[in-house]
Structure 1
């Protein structure tokens, strides 16, 4: 009676469950696992887990790791099956837990299996209910009230643990990583966990302004300091960051002429406005970021050695998304929840879309993934986001002309904004429609070329024009 009761309970869970003996033979399976595998109970109970490996239905046996290392193992696993006479496959999350015998040997393994599309559906259901506001991903923190840090990979968990450790230490931090990896999010995280969190985090992209304006923005100016200067003068970003944090993004683009002045400001904590002979004390914490190897820039005489060592006290390197695939699905689900709420949708990723996301290279990193999810939510028909060709919606660098040739933007039809009828249904005005088209076009160029200068060249416009639109659309 007791055994049948427990079997009834396990058969009514949404997870597939199986138990192996000490040799990998199946000794228990619930009905959900049988359904997922498309097999009968008697057939599956006659199997050893290695039979699936020998048949090529799985690439490796997770249980072998559990037997060998005597610990719980959590991994993704691709499983090949035959359903309706046709070969098919699905990806599942498997949690394999050892059960130890009296001598410390692994006596059994209990595995809980959850297909990825099931996780996705449950997440969407929870988000739509309005009673849960954040996803219970193993490592998720609010960085500034609006940004959420999602980290599942060991590399990113370690990075954020280090960031938390050094948050309250007023030392310089240099964040490096490819464009779109989330350097500003890390800076926000450090600031929000520091004693300066109640004051401003002032952000400037050093590549966004020409040298003459950049100096005035950083250090401020007195009235009449130069032609066109405000008659009241203006305080710079160093002063705006007083008692707070100053984040200099793309510091590798800082002109050599300004590097010495920045170094002095860092060492003396004093600044001098343009057109002024007076010095002003400022108390700020500096975080900088680079999307290129600063040590190489130093070797090439494009960056001052002394400034490099002053900035690189605590280096934090963010790996590209392609090297931390464990973060792809948690991030995608987080963005899906956000855009579902923003656009009043209840979209769910189809299983094949999740598989393609895991296999895609994501050259634009987290920024590209975020924009891909937004496009998918807005442009997909029906509840399920079923993307047959992810390259058609994700911004691929392959869609640009070859290096050294006149470069023009090639746009896939699937990247063009939804047609005019869809916009008309939303009652958008002509100007709103044109702005939406412009936003999509500039966004695609920035993601693909990785710099505003290259994007401007490809679109046949000026870099300042690109930067104005980047700020206008918060790209």
Structure 2
């Protein structure tokens, strides 16, 4: 350290003719204790001190006396660049004048001033050291040779969970004792572990040595969990890097990174195929690669460096391959271009993939149509309709399901109008939306309007306090099935007509119109046209409903459906009641000759009744209601047509043979055939051999 670093610079001087009062003012105003006395030629001729001035003033000397009379001899002289260590311990260092290389006075070195300056420097250093210690995240604890703590930082307070001032306390009160305490004997302990407040701590203990004496020690502690977190963060960064590497390598497009010197920094496998090589030289320049595409990339880097914007080019090689190259600039924090990232895409391959995708879409569309047809077939099969009379009905249902037209389903009670409506809904685009059924004849007339259209709160006495949405609003987005539409009162027909025409309803007691997106399917067993003529049904509503009419034929017109329907209901109620019953053939003969005024509903109820009431595993004629046996069907079940007259015995044989053949076809076994014909098992065997009809085995 040089003298000029600790001296008081540019000291205030006085002349020999200055008064003691002048000197006193300088000492008072500038807080100095001495001033060099400089003559006319600029030489230092002496020095006046504050003690000298006070001494003479107290002795009664006039303040107006000249300084030159009372000044001391000039002190010693030292140059600015003298090492302070050379004069620090000399007795003459009470005061020294400091001269520069031209022997001009530039400062004064005073022991008192030096002490002040050293103290201020020490204070600044201590404060700086304290700030450093407090800002260190590690915990630091220092204690003296007696083991008493004299310093600990904020990190130590947090780590150790201290809620009190630990300065002055024994170190064993805050740190667990151990071999590390022999640090006061001068032995260091590095990386030892301890547990504090359920935390795993790693610590270093180092002695503080002054001369040859150990004056204390310092312990630095670190929470291992912090290190583990850092290791975890580092692991995550590595995982992200590996993930990024995998993403880049798995990209089908080529990815290539180039710096501003046009050196290749990174390239994935997708890009290598455009260069027809297995690898590129590390940090190889684009211009040195023997490839036309490399030259194109070199030109693009130059252009991107000039414009600072992304650039896309189409490159065609000699083989007709088209490659789309996109270069994107990457900048650092100072907006300086550092890299260009290229993406290379094979457009020829892309066009081929587009063709394949288009073909796949066409194939998918074809499969979708086939699936729709199959689904339609399966859904219509659930209707159990095998008769020719139902074929046009099913075809019309499938066709009308694809559009949004209003449908009117007619037919006798029990023919399955609701099943038909549900099938149309299931085949339509609204299949996943609500299907709401409203029986217009089952709801009291005074409640029908509020049930159908809903009502606002307080609309009438007894109404729900919060109001209620109607069934049409509940079906919004889906389908509403208005069964027995012929029973709808005339006053409600007007509101229904508006709902169909405008797709808008209004709740009872409400004023706000509610828009609807709902498909309407209506059904009736009444002749609406006659009702229109009798003014029992609105003509305009009839034509709104009768856009597409589907008439379900009665069961007596489609006898081919009776057997499969009966089997369907038998399986249904066997499963419901945990039975394994079957129906005798004689029962089916009665079914086929019965008029079925209640249609399919009557057949279903009859099967359920027979399953419940019959004993054993067979449903016989005795389990049927009386009206079936009295229907006269048994007399009409055989119809004989005579085309020409033949001998009596020959006619009997032909009739017997034909009857046995039909019975064998229907019974499927000899025993069942015997039951159908009401004859014995042996008779069937004998007659079957006689007419060569026994190609079936006995069941």
What CA distance in whole angstroms lies between the structure 2 residues aligned with 1:395 and 1:199?
A: 46
Q: Is the contact made by 1:183 and 1:289 (CA closer than 8 Å) also made in structure 2?
A: yes
TM-score normalised per structure 1 = 0.52
TM-score (norm 2): 0.36
Rate the CA distance shift 1:380–1:389 in 2: closer, same or farther, 3 A.
closer
Q: Report matched runs for 1:225-304 at 5 Å.
A: 225-304=459-538
Q: Please list the CA deviations of residues 414-436 of structure 1 after superposition, one character each: whole Å capped at 9, or x if unmatched.
A: xxxxxxxxxxxxxxxxxxxxxxx
- Give the aligned partner of residue 158 of structure 1: 392
Aligned residue number for residue 326 of structure 1: 560
User: Could you say which residue in structure 2 is the equivalent of 1:373?
Assistant: 607
> Contact between 1:250 and 1:289, CA under 8 Å: does it hold in 2?
yes
TM-superposed CA distance for 1:142, in Å, is 3.8
Report deviation, 1:392: 2.3
Residue 252 of structure 1 deviates from its aligned partner by 0.1
* Partner in structure 1 of residue 423 of structure 2: 189
Q: State the alpha-carbon separation in 1 of the partners of residues 630 and 537 from structure 2.
A: 31
User: Deviation of residue 150 (structure 1)?
Assistant: 0.6
* 1:314 to 2:548 alignment: yes
2:453 pairs with 1:216: no
SS of residue matched to 2:378: strand
Report deviation, 1:394: 6.4
Match of 2:378 among 120, 123, 141: 141
Q: Given that residues 141 and 150 in structure 1 are in contact (C-alpha distance below 8 angstroms), is that contact kept between their aligned partners in structure 2?
A: no
Distance 1:382 1:320 in 2: 32
Q: How does 1:398-417 map to 2 (within 5 A)?
A: none
Check 1:370–1:395 CA distance in 2 against 1; reply closer, same or farther (3 A cut).
Answer: farther
> Within 1, Cα distance between the matches of 2:627 and 2:437?
30
1:175–1:315 Cα contact (<8 Å) kept? yes
Q: Deviations over 1:209-260 (max 9, x none)?
A: 1222100011100000011110000000111111000100000000001101
Displacement after TM superposition at 1:390 (Å) = 3.7
Give the Cα–Cα distance (whole angstroms) in 2 for the partners of residues 214 and 305 of structure 1.
21
* Counterpart-to-counterpart distance in 2, 1:343 and 1:277: 51
Structure 1 distance, partners of 2:493, 2:454, is 16
Give the corresponding residue for 1:56: none
How far apart, in 1, do the equivalents of 2:514 and 2:542 lie?
24
Counterpart residue number, 2:406? 172
SS of 1:149's equivalent in the other structure is: coil
| TM superposition shift of 1:148 | 2.8
CA distance in structure 1 between the aligned counterparts of 2:630 and 2:403, rounded to whole angstroms? 40
Q: Kindly provide the CA deviation profile for residues 263-311 of structure 1, in whole angstroms up to 9, marking residues without a partner as x.
A: 0110000000011111010100000000111001101100000000000
The correspondence of residues 73-92 of structure 1 with structure 2, limited to 5 A, is none
1:141 deviation in Å?
3.3
What per-residue deviation string (whole Å, max 9, x for no partner) do you get for residues 355-374 of structure 1? 01111111110000001111
Gaps of 5+ in 1: 1-138, 398-475
Deviation at 1:140? 6.7
Indicate conservation of the 8 Å contact 1:375/1:393, yes or no. Answer: no
Query: Over residues 151-204 of structure 1, what are the superposed CA-to-partner deviations in whole Å (9 max), with x where a residue is unaligned?
Result: 011121221111011102111000001111100000000000000000000001
Paired residue secondary structure (1:382): coil
* 1:343 Cα offset (Å): 1.3
2:437·2:483 contact (CA, 8 Å) conserved in 1? yes
Q: Is residue 392 from structure 1 mapped to residue 626 from structure 2 by the alignment?
A: yes
Report SS of the residue matched to 1:141.
helix
Q: Deviations over 1:87-106 (max 9, x none)?
A: xxxxxxxxxxxxxxxxxxxx
- Give the match's secondary structure for 1:259: helix
Give the distance between the partners of 2:402 and 2:426, measured in 1 at CA.
10
8 Å CA contact 1:372, 1:394 repeated in 2: no
State how far apart, in whole Å, the 2-side matches of 1:393 and 1:229 are. Answer: 47
Which has the bigger relative contact order, CA under 8 A and spacing at least 6? Answer: 1
**Any idea what SS the aligned residue of 1:303 has?**
coil
The residue aligned with 1:353 is 587
Q: Secondary structure at the match of 2:523?
A: strand
Please give the residue correspondences for 1:123-134 in structure 2 after superposition, counting only pairs within 5 Å: none
For 2:451 and 2:630, how far apart are their aligned partners in 1? 34
Q: Aligned equivalents of 1:197 and 1:238: distance in 2?
A: 17
2:572 is the counterpart of 1:338: yes
> The residue matched to 1:329 in structure 2 has which SS?
helix
RMSD across aligned positions (CA) = 2.1
How far, CA to CA, are the matches of 2:397 and 2:440 in structure 1? 23
Q: Distance in 1 between matches of 2:597 and 2:377?
A: 24
How far apart, CA to CA, are the structure 1 residues paired with 2:629 and 2:568? 20
Cα separation, 2, equivalents of 1:169 and 1:394: 43
Task: Name segments (4+ residues, structure 1) moved above 3 Å.
Answer: 139-143, 388-391, 393-397
Q: Tell me the alpha carbon deviations over residues 315-368 of structure 1, each in whole angstroms, 9 at most, x when there is no partner.
A: 000111111111111100111111111111111111111101111111110000
CA contact 1:203–1:247 (8 Å) conserved in 2:
yes
Distance (Å, rounded) in 2 between the aligned partners of 1:193 and 1:167: 6
Mapped contact 1:167–1:194 kept (Cα < 8 A): yes
CA contact (8 A) 1:364 1:395 kept: no
Determine if contact 1:353/1:388 at 8 Å carries over to the other structure.
no
Q: Note the residue ranges of structure 2 that are not aligned, 5 or more in a row.
A: 1-375, 632-699
User: In structure 2, do the counterparts of structure 1 residues 285 and 394 end up closer, same or farther at CA, with 3 Å as the change threshold?
Assistant: farther
